[in-house]
Amino acid sequence: MTDSQDGARFESLVRRLDPSSRLLRTWPLHGGVSARVTGVEVERPDGEIKRLVVRQHGAADLRANPRVAADEFKLLGALHSARLPVPAPYHVDESGEVFASPYVVVEHVDGTTDPSPTTAVEAADQLATCLSRIHRVDWASLNLPFLPRQDERCARLLRARPEQAAESPDEHRIRDALAAIGPLKRRNRSVLLHGDFWPGNVLWNDGRLVAVIDWEDAAIGDPLADLGNSRLEILWAFGIATMQRFTARYLAMSTIDAAHLPYWDLCASLRSVARIGEWATDDADEARMREAHRWFVDQAMRLVQDQGRSP
């Protein structure tokens, strides 16, 4: 698609939203590998400048869920009504008349993924508080039947074992450990899960957490699933001490049973082990991430062994 064709499509989108507004500019935003995310700035007749975000879902998202755009729009609307810090949704279009793929238009939140000037400890406390708020939402009242079950996702991940030649030693031992643990008896009630709650999916403004974005992995399940994933991501971003602070802060604000946290730590480790090379910025960063990942797996396995020896 040429720049002129792209510009014409965004002008058409703006006319759909408000025929009296004028497109001023567009710019690319970070949105992962499976979606194209664009900032859009428009001018209203009274001179007000308004910024929007357009998320165009790609082939991977659509293969996983052909209704991903409509589901995201409905989910964000429900969460915004529940007063969670999420961008307000404005428009969804699955027609293919403006862009070839479905898209959602949401509020542009002024912020970045950099939590400074707040300290790592203060950031951990805010992240824990926000995750606790998400898990307290009365999801059953929000009419979100399209959300998947997290335990089923984890079961599929375990079943989808790659060829032995492609499986790394780290992946092999994680899979074996999870298989040895076997099915778990549920100890916590199901909650709304973000599914990928990490510092890169949080926006900050002047050290204050202002929005949680990228809800395409949202699900229903054990809150420990979110906690385990966040613990690994915070370990990578801030280190062991901050991860432990985040965990302690979250658990102090909840009444959940954390006995199965090592299991969900291992699920988070399995989910990420094959993608570390893809996520790392360079060879040194990959080595650092792999070392931290092994430590994370080791601590989970030690806890599983200790629990097995408990009377």
Could you tell me the domains of the chain?
Answer: 3-107 (3.30.200.20), 120-309 (3.90.1200.10)
Q: What is the pLDDT of residues 112-147, one digit of tens each?
A: 999 999 999 999 999 999 999 999 999 999 999 999
pLDDT at 62: 86
The contacts of residue 271 (CB under 8 Å, 6+ apart) are 157, 229
Go through the chain and tell me how many residues it has. Answer: 311
pTM of this structure: 0.91
AA identity, residue 273: V
Q: What is the pLDDT of residues 19-71, one digit of tens each?
A: 999 999 999 987 555 689 999 999 999 999 999 999 998 888 888 888 999 99
Q: What is the pLDDT of residues 36-46, one digit of tens each?
A: 999 999 999 99
Spatial distance between the Cα atoms of 101 and 34, rounded to a whole number of angstroms: 12
Nearest to 184 by CA among 246, 258, 248: 258
Spatial distance between the Cα atoms of 149 and 138, rounded to a whole number of angstroms: 16
AA identity, residue 139: W
Distance from CA of residue 289 to its chain's centroid? 19
